[in-house]
Chains A and B, each alone.
Chain A
Amino acid sequence: AQSVTQPDARVTVSEGASLQLRCKYSYSATPYLFWYVQYPRQGLQLLLKYYSGDPVVQGVNSFEAEFSKSNSSFHLQKASVHWSDSAVYFCALSPYYNVLYFGSGTKLTVEP
């Protein structure tokens, strides 16, 4: 069975600091992987996606994620966070057509 685990329910960082949000997945093959973000009072928006190839993928707003098959991970990173990055971040995988499995989300708070 497939699953996505985001071990950190809440993360707090200072503005300008670097960020890593963790995501571990369970799937028998290499899945399609995604990070979505939900800003306050908004729907979820796609940050980036991984299908194959280069394990480091670039997304919007200078976010990037690194896929590791050996660790079954897809961690999200940003070199320097801004207060506007405060939001809930969801990792997801798609094992087959038209289905997405999400993690429980990580709420990021960026302190001034």
Chain B
Amino acid sequence: AQTIHQWPVAEIKAVGSPLSLGCTIKGKSSPNLYWYWQATGGTLQQLFYSITVGQVESVVQLNLSASRPKDDQFILSTEKLLLSHSGFYLCAWSLQGAGDTEVFFGKGTRLTVV
């Protein structure tokens, strides 16, 4: 069975500090991968998607970057956190495009920037 694991579960970071959030998908080869973000009380926004290793497309610009170093791994990062980065980050995967098939979500990472 396929599993999606996000780390860390929660993080408290200082403004201006770097950030790295990770996601690993096991049990599926060559999935499409996604990062979503939800500000407290806000809408769930898609940040990035990746169809293959080494290729990442940006959907919304939030001074964040993403990378896919391995087929089953998706990393979200920034060198300098802003207060506005606080929120809930979800990693997800699908076998085909997000509009064509079900997207499967991880349990998320709660980020608090202070």
Contact = CB atoms under 8 A, between A and B. Distances in A.
B102 interface: yes
B43 A43 contact: no
Contacts of B92: 43-44
A102 B98 contact: no
Interface in B82-114: 90, 92, 97-100, 102-108
Interface residues of A, number: 23
A90 B109 CA distance: 18
Contact of A102 (B4, B32, B43): B43
Interface residues of B, number: 27
B44 A43 contact: no
B57 A98 contact: yes
Nearest to A4: B43
B98 A98 contact: yes
Given A32-B99, A43-B90, A44-B90, A101 B46 contact: yes
Given A44-B90, A90-B44, A99 B49 contact: yes
Interface of B: 4, 32, 34, 36, 41-46, 49, 51, 57, 59, 90, 92, 97-100, 102-108
